[in-house]
Chains A and B, each alone.
Chain A
Amino acid sequence: GQNIDQPTEMTATEGAIVQINCTYQTSGFNGLFWYQQHAGEAPTFLSYNVLDGLEEKGRFSSFLSRSKGYSYLLLKELQMKDSASYLCAVYGGNKLVFGAGTILRVKS
């Protein structure tokens, strides 16, 4: 079966750091992706992890532990434009399986 869990909503303050967690149980694993999605728009790629550890990309970092079925997305120096839904997705069997997404609200 496929199960991907992430918190439904989070709120953080402009300039702060926020960590969005994702746990997964999937039948196949060829990597974990994080996408950002603004309301009414397509998902846009943020990061990819296939090996354990931290991948850093500007203000965004993503961590993966395959043995724990766990990932997180870290957003630093939050900006108002970071208010969006953040989607954790596992790639396996030639498809992406998405979590329900975490709505992040950034307040001033």
Chain B
Amino acid sequence: EPEVTQTPSHQVTQMGQEVILRCVPISNHLYFYWYRQILGQKVEFLVSFYNNEISEKSEIFDDQFSVERPDGSNFTLKIRSTKLEDSAMYFCASTFLLAGGETQYFGPGTRLLVL
């Protein structure tokens, strides 16, 4: 069964450093998402991406964040200058359609710890 994959599984970084989280969505999917989950809190939407453009972003997704689909398979989330409060689990998700019960398939997540 096709899966969304994410690398790395864990990342530890110093405050102020840049991090790039990588995702490989399911190959025929067209819509891509990043969510985050701070420990003990709910899953929060960050950004959605379609046709090489951001289609929607949340208030969390400020100028420190960017997304890119550098080639036909990868989808990346960059945090330019990490803050302590960026420590969270980051989930990538993808879907083929926007509606009709097509679920978003989540990757296993990258646990980011900012020190």
Contacts and interface: CB of A to CB of B under 8 A. Distances in A.
Given A95-B56, A98-B42, A98-B44, A48 B98 contact: no
A104 interface: no
Given A41-B108, A43-B91, A94-B55, A100 B42 contact: yes
A97 B45 contact: yes
B56 A93 contact: yes
Interface stretch (B11-19, B66-74, B75-83, B99-107): B99-107
Contacts of B109: 41-42
B51 interface: no
| Interface size band for B | 20 to 34
Given A30-B99, A43-B91, A93-B56, A98 B43 contact: yes
A44 B93 CA distance: 11
Nearest to B33: A95
Nearest to A42: B106
B40 to A, nearest CB: 10
Contact of A94 (B44, B48, B91, B108): B48
Contact of B103 (A30, A48, A98): A48
Query: 3 closest Cβ contacts across the A-B interface?
Result: A42-B106, A98-B43, A45-B103
Interface of B: 31, 33, 35, 41-45, 48, 50, 55-56, 58, 89, 91, 93, 98-99, 101, 103-109, 111
22 contacts: A30-B98, A40-B111, A41-B109, A42-B106, A42-B108, A42-B109, A43-B43, A43-B91, A45-B104, A48-B101, A87-B43, A89-B43, A94-B31, A94-B50, A94-B98, A95-B58, A96-B35, A96-B43, A96-B93, A98-B45, A99-B42, A100-B41
Interface of A: 30-31, 33, 40-45, 48, 50, 87, 89, 93-101
